[in-house]
A and B are shown apart, each in its own frame.
Chain A
Amino acid sequence: MTRPTVDLRPTTQPPLPRQRPITSFLTKPQVIALVAVLLVNWALFPGFFTITWQDGRFFGSLIDVLNRGAPVAILAIGMTMVIATKGVDLSVGAVMAISGATAATLVTNGIPAPTAVLAALATGLLCGLWNGILVTVLEIQPIIATLVLMVAGRGLAQLITEGTIVTFSDPLLIFIGTGSFLGLPMPVVIALVLMVLATLIVRRTALGLLIEAVGVNRSAARFAGLKAGTLLLIVYTFAGFCAAISGLIVAGDIRGADANNAGLWLELDAILAVVIGGTSLMGGRFSIPMAVLGAMIIQAMNTGILISGFSPEFNLVVKSAVIIVILVLQSPLSARLFRRLPGAPK
């Protein structure tokens, strides 16, 4: 047998994504679901797709969907990788509150905004690291490990703000939440950049594969010489970092840190987005862009409910109905039906 000598050429072409024809992308259940939800919105409100240019930025319901979906999309980017390792992070909502509280409190105490932002991101990293340590070093099951911070984190955030809504008028923080770049709201820009960067980092390096390997079989990963613990630490830390960004956006958006309500229950939306995006809660294969798409589906649905004029008692019922439809669409059962359709890809 000849020994392989592996020469390491710089990766010129995208390494993993398989060349799929655009049609197969369009027949993905997620894409169909998104289009369907958007069409329903359009039917409810004919001006839904209208986008105008106003005060140097785009303006319209579609932009609102992107803008309002951005925080959950950012959470979902971090959450995707956590879920890919067979974990879950319930604390992201609380971490959002902590990060917003940190930035707002520092800024109102006269600390320069860039420092405050960095500090907020650092707290997010720390929170994520804490989760990671609980999961790897203490080997606590992820749901419970992150439940600790979910419960205590909101308390910490309130400790920072002393229970009040800390209002600020710092232009940098406000810009993060409500500014615009090339006509797009900053949250959208941040989410897009983060999505592209995270996808590139994960797919151009070996990280993505290694994360998937850990998620598929942690024991085998150990036997194959993978540093599973370090990977998990990184993944949870990154989720904390994403949550911190989201927290900054949400605080900047309302010009204040609302420790009690910022990010409340958003962890569930983020998990839902990831699952709708096709990443299994059992770990393994993941896709960041699809998770972001999942977040957009959820937001399109929320926006649709808002403009539909239903009375708010029906919100949750409508939401669950849409989720159920998407789940049924995604299930193997309907996949089998789909394959029978002429023209659908094998």
Chain B
Amino acid sequence: MTRSLRPLLATTLIFLFAYALAVSQQPAMLSTRVLGNFLTDNAFLGIAAVGMTFVILSGGIDLSVGAVIGFTTVLVAVLIMWLELHPLLAFAIALIVATAFGAIMGAAIHYLKVPSFIVTLAGMFLARGGASVLSPDSIGIEHPFFTAVQKSYILLPGGGRLTVVGIIMLIVFACAILLAHRTRFGSNVYALGGSETSAALMGVPVARTTISIYALSGFLAGLAGVVFSLYTSAGYSLNALGVELDAIAAVVIGGTLLTGGYGFVAGTFIGVMLQGLVQTYIVFDGTLSSWWTKIVVGVLLFMFILLQRLVFRAGPRRT
């Protein structure tokens, strides 16, 4: 256990170190306001990354999450604004649709034996396309419920805000940590990531688990979409473009191996926060041109991975 905890520890240390470094450059970053923003602004990414963590732990990948987020925001907006449903009902419907979508992809992956990369790529096209068919235009959501949610937050000392979406993300992480490390389902996910044949021979219900994993990822992407719609009060087919890559990066920075079987949900949290840190730092700095922004994001990504590898390597090899 201690050996596999190492990358998690490494990531946490790197995050603290990076945060300290950022604060030394931009003292204003040391405030509860910034920390509160970390949670609020990255809530949808964090939630989607949790789903991605399960998928990657099982040895797969889900490229559809960004598109599902976008689709969900549009669906929610359509249900509320055009069909005049109550937001909570709209959320429920959207979550069911997203979960079913994920489950279908999981079934395709399992029964058609097509790699998840390709199935979810097709899923990504489909969800994006479906969203733009529903409404190419962005739809603003106006509903007292939305205003109420946006107005409710816990004021932290120092002016920071712990918003509803931030709290939702924290709850999702807490549940996911339990799910991954403390339930049979979690064990089965790791088992699939370790070796699908072995898992099958050891009695893991492969079909059911695979479908559940992608359904879970779909559900969480849907939830991320709901959060996104709460966050922006709008539905737009191009929302959350490319978020799948951010989510994958967060998961991997968090120490989960893309080959599956190793990793922690908590690491993903740190991975998400690290990405938020980078973006916030760039905003605070405010001097980077468009292209330097990209280069710096890439270079920092590289440095985190490199640091992690070095810490990883320092440990004893398996024999």
Q: B248 an interface residue at 8 Å Cβ cutoff? A: yes
Residues of B within 8 A of A331 (CB): 111-114
Binds A, one of B27-35, B82-90, B221-229, B293-301: B293-301
Q: B208 an interface residue at 8 Å Cβ cutoff? A: no
Within 8 A of B (CB), among A86-101: 88
Q: B305 an interface residue at 8 Å Cβ cutoff? A: yes
Compute how far the CA of A59 lies from the CA of B44 in the bound complex, rounded to whole angstroms.
49
Residues of B within 8 A of A330 (CB): 114
Residues of A within 8 A of B122 (CB): 320, 323-324, 327
Binds B, one of A156-164, A176-184, A240-248: A156-164
Q: B145 an interface residue at 8 Å Cβ cutoff? A: no
Q: A275 an interface residue at 8 Å Cβ cutoff? A: yes
Q: Is the CB of A316 within 8 A of B126?
A: yes
Within 8 A of A (CB), among B81-122: 108, 111-115, 117-119, 121-122
Residues of A within 8 A of B121 (CB): 268, 271-272, 323
Q: A307 an interface residue at 8 Å Cβ cutoff? A: no
Interface centre among A88, A281, A316 (most CB of B within 10 A): A316
Residues of B within 8 A of A323 (CB): 118, 121-122, 125
Q: B132 an interface residue at 8 Å Cβ cutoff? A: yes
Compute how far the CA of A313 lies from the CA of B298 in the bound complex, rounded to whole angstroms.
32
- A313 CB contact (under 8 Å) in B114, B136, B301, B302: B136
Interface of A is mostly: helix
Compute how far the CA of A148 lies from the CA of B115 in the bound complex, rounded to whole angstroms.
23
Q: Is the CB of A315 within 8 A of B294?
A: no
Binds A, one of B18-26, B187-195, B197-205, B252-260: B252-260
Compute how far the CA of A318 lies from the CA of B249 in the bound complex, rounded to whole angstroms.
29
Say how far B263's CB is from chain A's closest CB, in angstroms: 12
**Residue on A with the closest CB to B111?**
A333
**Residue on B with the closest CB to A330?**
B114
**Residue on B with the closest CB to A86?**
B259
Compute how far the CA of A18 lies from the CA of B114 in the bound complex, rounded to whole angstroms.
26
Task: Using C-beta atoms within 8 Å of the partner chain, give the interface range for chain A.
Answer: 35 or more
Q: B186 an interface residue at 8 Å Cβ cutoff? A: no
**Residue on A with the closest CB to B114?**
A327
Residues of B within 8 A of A163 (CB): 289-291
Q: Is the CB of A317 within 8 A of B258?
A: no
- A139 CB contact (under 8 Å) in B294, B301, B309: B309
Q: A17 an interface residue at 8 Å Cβ cutoff? A: no
Residues of A within 8 A of B112 (CB): 327-328, 331-333
Residues of A within 8 A of B301 (CB): 144, 147-148, 151-152
Q: A153 an interface residue at 8 Å Cβ cutoff? A: yes
Interface centre among A154, A281, A320 (most CB of B within 10 A): A320
Compute how far the CA of A152 lies from the CA of B298 in the bound complex, rounded to whole angstroms.
4
Q: Is the CB of B309 within 8 A of A138?
A: yes
Q: Is the CB of B118 within 8 A of A327?
A: yes
Residues of B within 8 A of A88 (CB): 117
Say how far B227's CB is from chain A's closest CB, in angstroms: 24
- A148 CB contact (under 8 Å) in B108, B292, B305: B305
Residues of B within 8 A of A148 (CB): 298-299, 301-302, 305
Interface centre among A154, A313, A328 (most CB of B within 10 A): A313
Interface centre among B122, B133, B293 (most CB of A within 10 A): B122
Q: Is the CB of A140 within 8 A of B305?
A: yes
**Residue on A with the closest CB to B237?**
A313
Chain A 324-342, CB within 8 Å of chain B: the 1/0 string? 1001101111000000000
Within 8 A of A (CB), among B249-277: 249, 252, 257-259
- A314 CB contact (under 8 Å) in B119, B133, B309: B133
Say how far B49's CB is from chain A's closest CB, in angstroms: 14
Compute how far the CA of A245 lies from the CA of B309 in the bound complex, rounded to whole angstroms.
33
Say how far B289's CB is from chain A's closest CB, in angstroms: 7
Q: Is the CB of B257 within 8 A of A317?
A: no
Q: Is the CB of A152 within 8 A of B295?
A: yes
Within 8 A of B (CB), among A290-338: 313-321, 323-324, 327-328, 330-333
Say how far B281's CB is from chain A's closest CB, in angstroms: 16
27 contacts between A and B (CB under 8 A): A88-B117, A141-B257, A143-B248, A144-B248, A147-B249, A150-B245, A152-B297, A152-B301, A154-B291, A155-B296, A157-B291, A158-B290, A159-B295, A271-B118, A280-B115, A281-B117, A282-B115, A314-B129, A316-B126, A316-B128, A317-B125, A319-B129, A323-B121, A323-B125, A327-B108, A331-B112, A333-B112
User: Can you list the 6 inter-chain pairs with the closest CB atoms, starting with the nearest?
Assistant: A152-B298, A155-B294, A316-B129, A158-B291, A317-B129, A320-B125
Name B residues whose Cβ lies closer than 8 Å to a Cβ of A: 61, 63, 108, 111-115, 117-119, 121-123, 125-126, 128-130, 132-133, 136, 245, 248-249, 252, 257-259, 289-299, 301-302, 305-306, 309
Name A residues whose Cβ lies closer than 8 Å to a Cβ of B: 88, 134, 138-141, 143-145, 147-159, 163, 259, 268, 271-272, 275, 280-282, 313-321, 323-324, 327-328, 330-333
14 extra interchain contacts, Cβ-Cβ under 8 A, other than A316-B128, A317-B133?
A88-B117, A138-B306, A139-B309, A144-B301, A147-B249, A148-B302, A152-B294, A155-B294, A156-B295, A158-B294, A163-B289, A271-B121, A320-B126, A323-B122
